[in-house]
Amino acid sequence: MNAVVAAVAIMLVLSLCRIHVVVALIIGAVSGGLIAGMSLEATIEAFNSGLGGGATVALSYATLGAFAVAIGKSGLAHALADRALALVGRQEEGAAVNGIRFLIIGLLLAIAISSQNILPIHIAFIPLVVPPLLYVMAKLNMDRRLVACVLTFGLITPYMFLPVGFGGIYLNEILIAKINANGVDASGLSVMKAMALPALGMLCGLLIAVFFSYRSDRTYNLETITKAERVDTSYSPRTLVMALLAIVTAFVVQLWLGSMILGALAGFVLFNLSGVVRWKEADDLFTEGMKMLAMIGFIMIAASGFAEVMRETGEIASLVDSSVGVIGENKAMAALLMLVVGLLITMGIGSSFSTIPIIAALYVPLALQLGFSPLAIVALVGTAGALGDAGSPASDSTLGPTAGLNADGQHNHIWDTVVPTFLHYNLPLLGFGWLAAMVL
C-alpha cells in the first residue's frame, strides 16, 4: 500500500476511535515513514524538522487566544448574547424561535465570511463570539453540528472563490502562481469562473445541513454551560467601546505589519492601558487565553511534522504516478482520481494552502497531457487543494469551530465537527469539482 494513503488512513481511524488528534498524527507519520522504507531515525528526524513549520501559526493562535479572553473580559460578546437571550425570552412560538435561530446562523455566517476578507482574522473570532452564545443556542435547542457546518463554510468558501484577503493568497499567490510555474499560463484567466462550480457545491452542502440534516432539536446541559461560560459577565458602554477600539487596532496593526501575532498583542496591550484588563490580572489572563487555543497550536505543529514525513517518503509522486496507469486516456477518471488524491493529501496535512505547491507540480503536466483546458486545470488543482480542509482533524477550519463550540465540553471534535463537515462539504466538492473540470 502507498505510504501516504496508509499514513492518512491510520491517522483518520485513530481519530475516529477518539484517540487525540496529536497522538494520531504522530502515529500516522511514523507508520507512513516506516511503510515507505524509511528508518525509524530518519522518520523521526523528518518529523522533527517539520515541526518548525507550524510554530508561527501556533504562536499566532496563542496570542489571538489571549486577545480573545481580553475581549471576553470587556463583555462585548456577552452583550450580543444578552440581546439574543432577551429575544428568546420574548418569543415562545415555534416560528419566532426558528427566526431567532436563523438570525444567529446568519450572523455567524456573515462574521465567518468577513473573517477571510473584510477583517482577515481567520478563526480568531470564534472563541470571542461563540462561547457566550452557547447558552442561547442551548435555550433554542440548536444542534451544534449545524453551527460547526456554518462556521466551516464561512472559513473555506470565501478563500476558494473570492480573490481578496485569504482568497487573494490562495487563488492568486499560490494557485495561479504554481500553475504558471508548471507550464500553463493562467494569469489572464478568471479564477472566480474556474472556482464557481466548486463553490456552488459548498453552498449545496450548507443548505443541506441547515434545512435537512440538523434542523431538529438537540438538547444540551444548561448547568454545564453556566459553569463553563460566564453568562452574567458585567459590561458597560465604556468597556464595549474599548473592545471595539481594540479590535480595530488589532486589525490595523495586522494589515500594517502583516503579523497576526503583533496585531493581537497590540489589542491586548490596549486593553491593559485602558483598564479593562487590570495590570495585576494581565499575566493570568494572557496565560488563560494561550491555553484556550493551545490545542490548535499543538495540532498545527504536529500536522507540519506529519506533512514533512509525507514529503520525505517520496510517495506522494508515486501515488499520482500509480493513478496514471489506471487513468489511461480517460479524462473523467483522471479528474476524479486527482481530486481523491488531493483529498487524501489535504486530510493528512490539514492545510489546503500547503497542499497546492505539492500537487501542482504533479497535476499540471498530467492534466495538459490529457487535454484539459487551462481553466479546467485551475478548477481541478484549486478544488483538489481545498478538498479535505473541511473534514480534516488537523485543519484549522475544523479546529476553530470546535474550540468555540466545545467551551463547555459538550461538543466532540471528531464526531460533531469533522464527520459532519466531511459529509456536507467534501462529497459535494468532489462532485462539483469533477463537473467543473469536465465542462470548462
**Proportion of the chain above pLDDT 90, given as a percent:** 20
Q: Does residue 228 carry a pLDDT above 70?
A: no
Cell 487563488 found at: 171
pLDDT for residue 397 is more than 90: no
Which residues have a Cβ under 8 Å from the Cβ of 27 and sit 6 or more positions away? 10, 11, 14, 19
Boundaries of domain holding 223: 56-166+195-294
Residue 7: inside a domain: no
pTM over 0.85: no
User: What pLDDT shows up at residue 345?
Assistant: 78
* CB 46 within 8 Å of CB 323: no
- Specify if 126 maps to a domain: yes
> Is a pLDDT exceeding 70 seen at residue 142?
yes
Predicted confidence band of residue 222 (pLDDT cuts 50, 70, 90): confident
Query: Is it the case that residue 23 has pLDDT exceeding 90?
Result: no
Question: Among 226-230, 251-255, 354-358, which is the least confidently predicted range?
Answer: 226-230
Residue 21 or residue 191, greater confidence: 191
Q: Domain for residue 84, yes or no? A: yes
Least confident range of 41-45, 99-103, 348-352, 419-423: 348-352
Q: What are the CA-CA distances from residue 149 to residues 52, 210, 398 (Å)?
A: 30, 8, 9
How high is the pLDDT of residue 87? 67
433 within domain boundaries: no
User: Number of folded domains in the chain?
Assistant: 1
| pLDDT at site 169 | 77
The three three-digit cell numbers of residue 142, written as one number: 440548536
pLDDT at 289: 67
User: Average pLDDT of 18-28?
Assistant: 82
**In-domain check, residue 394:** no
Q: Is residue 435 one of the residues assigned to a domain?
A: no
Establish if 15 belongs to a structural domain. no
Report whether pLDDT(203) > 90. yes
Residue 113 resides in a domain: yes
pLDDT in tens, 146-171: 999 999 999 999 989 988 777 887 88
What does the mean pLDDT of the chain come to?
A: 81
Question: Residue 2 contacts by C-beta under 8 Å, 6 or more apart in sequence?
Answer: 315, 318, 319, 322
